[in-house]
Structure 1
Amino acid sequence: MAYLFLAIALALSAVLSAAAYFVLITPYDPALLMLATLVGCISLTALILSGVLERQRKTRQQLEQQNEQQNLLLAHKSSALMLLDKYLNIEFINTHHSSLNIIQANNSNNDSLLDIWTANVEEETRLLVRKAVDEKREWRGELRVGDKKKYRYLAATVTPILDDIGELTRVIVCAEDISEHKAIADRLFIREHYNVLTGLPNRQFALRAIQSTINDDNSSSGFILIHIDLDRIRYINDSLGHHVVDKIFVETTERLRRSVSDDQILAHLGADEFLIVLSTENCINEAGILAETILDKCRQPFYVNHHEVTISASLGLCKYPEDGDDSTVLMRRAEAAMFSAKEKGGDRFSFYEEGMSSETERRLEMEKYLRHAIERDEFKLYYQPVINLENNRLRGVEVLLRWQNSALNNPTPDHFIAVAEQSGLIVGIGKWVLEHACQQVMAWTRSGLPALSVAVNISAKQFTDGDIVENVRYALQQSGLPAAQLELEITEGLLINDTPEIRDTFKQLKALGIHLSLDDFGTGYASLSYLKRYPFDSLKIDRSFVSDIDSCGDSVTLTNAIIAMGHSFNMKVIAEGVENLNQRRILREHHCDMVQGFLYSPPIPAEQFVAWAKRYADMQTSQHV
């Protein structure tokens, strides 16, 4: 625009000069000279003025551009900025920043930032900020801005600005919205430290809390841990389903909450395990009273989905510092005391005693080795012959599992089978046994031995948690073993969970053509109704009835009754544990169908079985048996 003014002035000057020279008659006129001089001055002034205006225009344009760029940077900066005077009144705020929407809403009346903080920030935080500003030092922390209905979290830095003599002039607040990050962090913290189902602190939280109490100087008087394990939960889960079990856990949580005070820690360690940490004011006697209260509350029936469910609990107690000075040690020893209560029948509590934890540690170590036993080829199958008493011929074999682990001194089945069932490893182990047993019997058949039946023990957990029907079908297909030669031995413990699902599984197994045997009859919970309800093909008399059959009349009576009962249900009866000829004679006289025991052979590995079978067949031919 300034250059336009200049061009107009120069053009006007040129026109006037030309008119004076060409149009006017007088060659010299002072007025015209003055006019020309004036026009020249005006042109020169216009030239100078236009240059000044142009420079100002460019400067203003640059400032506006810089201001726009700064506003863009401030608006899109990850942090919000506020400039305050020394009284904490707002002088500048990047109003377009999303983190400050709530501040702006609360600042509609141009209130000071301190007024907003007074309404929205905890008093302790406000005092810390005010103190830092008064002391002319920077403060860093977290602010919560907003009301109860809607608020955001800000990570803030408050920096005092000092003049040349060190006096406070202004304050800069830099804040970043961390609401979303904090919400995610809170969810992760809850997920990591709390049980989702019950809302109680989990094992990791409990361990940290216990260790924190130990590190506290005020904990010298000690505290008590109560480890709670609910009994029979596995059976309830197998029979009624995990939805019922989950509701039992929730109800148990409420019952435990009502039993403890606010200063006592209540945690859900996982599955059916809970933990209570009693404060230092509680003595042993009070802990015992609380343990009895908890046992009584767990005995009360649970009403879930029209089911009345009764359970019990096993409690283990230990005391700091007498039983340990570390959270992990204390937790393990409280658990060891709980296992002691459970082994005594449950529905009771036990205090930790020296030596209890060693058994728990042995179980954990055994479970660790069990997890890798199959891949390390440590399992081996042994076979015990089953003899038909009517003709003394070899009728089949029972498969028995042995574990060859030198680090644990080759544990016996009585030890490692229980650990495998408790840990759930029995499902995979049982599948391995089933497949290899079927393959071995077919290998013997191909080598010239007569077709033998093979009896495989199936645990209750393997039956309910594993896909037993599919496992059996796969083992038969893979090995080529006829279904009629496979017999599954099932213990009476499975039958207490008499559900439509279990009965349906029995039907599917029978549809495959296999045989079912009720193992260790008379030692568990079975009743005559089970024998009528389930399609068993054979009944197995436990060795405890056979061991003294040749010296105890009551054992003879019981054994005879079992044989008669089995036959009345059209079942074959097998007696195990036969060790002498007199026992065999009595069983034969009472029409027992089959026997097995050390009289014929102990369990032997597969590579020795063929030789034994041939020797036994030769003895039969020679009529030495």
Structure 2
Amino acid sequence: MRLDIRNRSGERRQGIITALQVETEQERVVVIFIRSVPQEGDSNGAGTVRIEQMSLYDGLTGLPGRGLLQLKAEQAIAEAQRDGSCLAVVFVDLDRFKWVSDSFGFPAGDALLQLIAQRLQAYRQPGDLVARLFCDEFVLLLRGCDRAQALERASCLRALLQASCPLAGITYKPSVSLGISLFPEDGSSVDELIQNADTAMGRAKSLPEGICFFSHELTPPGVEQLPLESALRSALEQGQLQLYYQPQVLLEDGSLYGVEALARWHHEELGDISPGRFVPLAEQCGLIDELGRWSLSEGCRQLAAWRREGLDIPSVSINLSPSNFNDPGFAQVVAHTLEANGLFPGDLTLEITESVLMYTSPHTLKVLQDVHELGVRLSLDDFGTGFSSLSHLHRLPIQEIKLDRSFVHDLEQDATSRTLSKAVAGLSESLNLTAVAEGIETQGQYQALKRMGYRVAQGFLFSRPLPAMEFVRWLAQPRSREVFSEGRVAADCCSPER
């Protein structure tokens, strides 16, 4: 409808009224927008229309924003109440999005959000609503979906969203977590359904399938994590973390090749907190770089202390996050740490996971090369389970490949594991890399890997990870350089290895 309006300066203008009506069981809501009609020579007319658009739609992705989501969802709930039908709310969160923005810059982060929005729109069926809620969070409202249908659609959606894509000059594989709430059993209002789907999404991040339905037993996101995050910050600040050391031995003669340093955390009230819990938490709350630097400093300090005691320990391996190598000055940090402890570059090995292959940019490669040029060894950990690409692998200045323990675990029962393990050994030999097998628990695994050509091994068969003082006692034992008996293996298997 058109009408005459006056602006603040008193000028008369032609205006247009547009309205959006939303009905609920309790009330009818009409949202009214009034905008002036562009006059001849008026440069602000298009901007007026743009402001109206931005009030309902997300400027970056073009998806409906929170306001339009609220209105449309209330209308969908009212229809579902009237018809006795069901609907599902799917909360989608991009994993590691902050890392992408920090590593490659905001333009890359924006490009990824736009791509996810395009994929969500492509997946949308008639009657569905897709909206961007906040930053890397999206919401889908699926009409007429019961639990089984919601799971089927969420599984297909996750596969679509996680398809590889070009990003900032690399091939990137997104990762998403999905939480689902259902109407009417999980809530009767928009806010309640979205909040419960968000809660389920928080739990989905810890599940291998990455999808979780809401249940009232779930803790809302952040309620459990915030105290633990605060405790982790305090632990880093107050030196409450420890490094445990697991020996690595040469398969040829059982002599000590080196030690791997593994972070451990014992909290006075919470007890032992698994690395599988606090390492992902450190990644989420921005503490992973600090954790890596602490491990580097403490591991080098301990090796230097052992050397002063006259102990012959060839080297120490430190686990780092790919994000540590985003710091242009990280090679200088490594060099300073070695110098401060009186160590040589050859005394140190830095272990990186296969995920670094996902994020390999010229900047990251430069830092890796700088560390390599110091003379520090680089080891690719958990090889065979991540996102390996031979085209990327040859670009990394690594000297060591560690076969993932999952292959070793199934080695004696599974022909495929034996074939893949042998292939990794052959690849290592062809690339002139040291092949390391981790997670060895039995004599059969030991002998099989030795025949395949693996040079170095670690696992419960030799020793579980030990505090520094216990490791010294292990080193003094005459049997410590030999393969342990089956009885000793069974005793050690009761303790967590990683």
TM-score, structure 2 as length reference = 0.69
Judged with a 3 Å threshold, the aligned counterparts in structure 2 of structure 1 residues 309 and 387 are, in CA distance, closer, same or farther, namely closer
Instruction: Give the whole-Å Cα distance in 2 for the aligned partners of 1:521 and 1:616.
Output: 32
Instruction: Give the whole-Å Cα distance in 2 for the aligned partners of 1:261 and 1:321.
Output: 21
Q: 1:591-620: per-residue Cα shift (whole Å, max 9, x none)? A: 432222222221111122222222348988
Please, which of 201, 217, 223 is the counterpart of residue 338 of structure 1? 201
Instruction: Give the whole-Å Cα distance in 2 for the aligned partners of 1:518 and 1:556.
Output: 20
Asked if residue 229 in structure 1 is aligned to residue 93 in structure 2, the reply is: yes
Q: 1:523-562: per-residue Cα shift (whole Å, max 9, x none)? A: 2332444443322212222223333545666655544443
CA shift at 1:572, angstroms?
1.9
CA shift at 1:334, angstroms?
0.6
CA shift at 1:236, angstroms?
5.6
1:257–1:266 CA contact under 8 A, matched in 2:
no
Judged with a 3 Å threshold, the aligned counterparts in structure 2 of structure 1 residues 465 and 419 are, in CA distance, closer, same or farther, namely farther
1:366–1:408 CA contact under 8 A, matched in 2:
no
Partner of 1:438: 300
2:128–2:140 CA contact under 8 A, matched in 1:
no
Partner of 1:614: 476
Please, which of 422, 433, 440 is the counterpart of residue 578 of structure 1? 440
Partner of 2:186: 323
Please, which of 311, 322, 343 is the counterpart of residue 449 of structure 1? 311
Q: 1:141-189: per-residue Cα shift (whole Å, max 9, x none)? A: xxxxx9999xxxxxxxxxxxxxxxxxxxxxxxxxxxxxxxxxxxxx9xx
Judged with a 3 Å threshold, the aligned counterparts in structure 2 of structure 1 residues 376 and 219 are, in CA distance, closer, same or farther, namely farther
Instruction: Give the whole-Å Cα distance in 1 for the aligned partners of 2:228 and 2:74.
Output: 32
Partner of 2:109: 245
Structure of higher RCO (CA pairs closer than 8 Å, 6+ residues apart): 2
Instruction: Give the whole-Å Cα distance in 1 for the aligned partners of 2:404 and 2:156.
Output: 40
2:394 partner SS: helix
Asked if residue 273 in structure 1 is aligned to residue 137 in structure 2, the reply is: yes
Partner of 2:20: none
RMSD of the alignment, in Å?
4.9
1:490–1:517 CA contact under 8 A, matched in 2:
yes
How does 1:258-337 map onto structure 2 within 5 Å? Answer: 266-270=131-135, 272-275=136-139, 283-284=144-145, 314-319=177-182, 322-324=185-187, 330-337=193-200
CA shift at 1:458, angstroms?
1.6
Please, which of 419, 435, 449 is the counterpart of residue 281 of structure 2? 419
Uncovered stretches (5+) of structure 1, i.e. residues with no partner? 1-100, 107-118, 123-145, 150-186, 621-625
Q: 1:39-61: per-residue Cα shift (whole Å, max 9, x none)? A: xxxxxxxxxxxxxxxxxxxxxxx
Judged with a 3 Å threshold, the aligned counterparts in structure 2 of structure 1 residues 578 and 332 are, in CA distance, closer, same or farther, namely same
CA shift at 1:404, angstroms?
0.9
Judged with a 3 Å threshold, the aligned counterparts in structure 2 of structure 1 residues 265 and 407 are, in CA distance, closer, same or farther, namely farther
Please, which of 528, 531, 539 is the counterpart of residue 401 of structure 2? 539
Instruction: Give the whole-Å Cα distance in 2 for the aligned partners of 1:463 and 1:396.
Output: 23
> Sequence identity, in percent?
33
Number of aligned residue pairs: give it. 437
Please, which of 374, 385, 399 is the counterpart of residue 247 of structure 2? 385
1:604 partner SS: coil
Instruction: Give the whole-Å Cα distance in 2 for the aligned partners of 1:244 and 1:540.
Output: 31
Instruction: Give the whole-Å Cα distance in 2 for the aligned partners of 1:303 and 1:519.
Output: 25
CA shift at 1:459, angstroms?
2.3
Instruction: Give the whole-Å Cα distance in 1 for the aligned partners of 2:258 and 2:131.
Output: 55
How does 1:388-399 map onto structure 2 within 5 Å? Answer: 388-399=250-261
Instruction: Give the whole-Å Cα distance in 1 for the aligned partners of 2:221 and 2:38.
Output: 53
Instruction: Give the whole-Å Cα distance in 1 for the aligned partners of 2:384 and 2:169.
Output: 32
1:538–1:572 CA contact under 8 A, matched in 2:
yes
Partner of 2:22: none
Partner of 2:25: none
CA shift at 1:455, angstroms?
0.5
Partner of 1:481: 343
CA shift at 1:263, angstroms?
12
Residue identity opposite 1:427 in structure 2: D
Uncovered stretches (5+) of structure 2, i.e. residues with no partner? 1-7, 16-35, 40-50, 483-498
1:198–1:268 CA contact under 8 A, matched in 2:
no
Partner of 2:354: 492
1:533 partner SS: coil
